[in-house]
Amino acid sequence: MAAPALPRTRRPDALAPGLRGTVSWPAMPMEGHWQRVNTPLRTMTRRERRVVSAAAVLIAAAVIAVVLLAASASSAPPRPGCIDAIVPGAMGGQPIDACGARARSICRERLGRSDPGSLAVEADCRRAKLS
């Protein structure tokens, strides 16, 4: 089955002045398409605009609160006589938290080693005045 033929329109103005005659051009199938696609079906009501504005303000306030909370979040400094070091581990940094006799034991165990974890623990032991 053959495809239906496009409607043809006369466009004598498209010819040069000396070549006046009847010329048929196919109709433009997408004529007005951009305008139809970009014209909203309806405009938003005043109430809808207020709801959208309020939602945008609430989202912006929540984002600002999360950013400020993340920027200000820090752990409290360790108590006197306690160590709080981060040492390299198999899955990333591992925290070592200890106080009292356990902290002194860890400090003695790590003293004099040259690996990065021991150096971090040793620095924290010096800060806590355990070695």
pLDDT tens, 43-52? 899 999 999 9
Checking if the pLDDT of 10 tops 60, the result is no
The verdict on residue 118 lying in a domain is: yes
CB 84 within 8 A of CB 128: no
The verdict on residue 105 lying in a domain is: yes
Query: How high is the mean pLDDT of the chain?
Result: 81
The verdict on residue 98 lying in a domain is: yes
Q: How far is CA 5 from CA 25, 43, 44, 63, in A?
A: 12, 38, 41, 57
pLDDT at residue 66 in the model: 95
Calculate the CA 47 to chain-centre distance: 30
The verdict on residue 92 lying in a domain is: yes
Domain count for the chain: 1
In this prediction, residue 126 has a pLDDT band, given cuts at 50, 70 and 90, of confident
pLDDT at residue 130 in the model: 77
- Stretch 76-89: mean pLDDT, rounded? 81
Checking if the pLDDT of 102 tops 80, the result is yes
> Residues 6 or more apart from 122 whose CB is under 8 A from it?
107, 110, 111, 113, 131
The verdict on residue 25 lying in a domain is: no
Host domain of residue 101: 82-127
Share of the chain above pLDDT 70, in %: 76
13 half-sphere exposure, CB direction, 13 A CA radius: 1
> Which residue has tokens 């004598």?
12
Share of the chain above pLDDT 90, in %: 18
Which tokens sit at 114? 């040259």
The verdict on residue 102 lying in a domain is: yes
CA distance 23 to 29: 18
The verdict on residue 32 lying in a domain is: no
pTM for the whole thing?
A: 0.43
pLDDT at residue 61 in the model: 98
The verdict on residue 100 lying in a domain is: yes
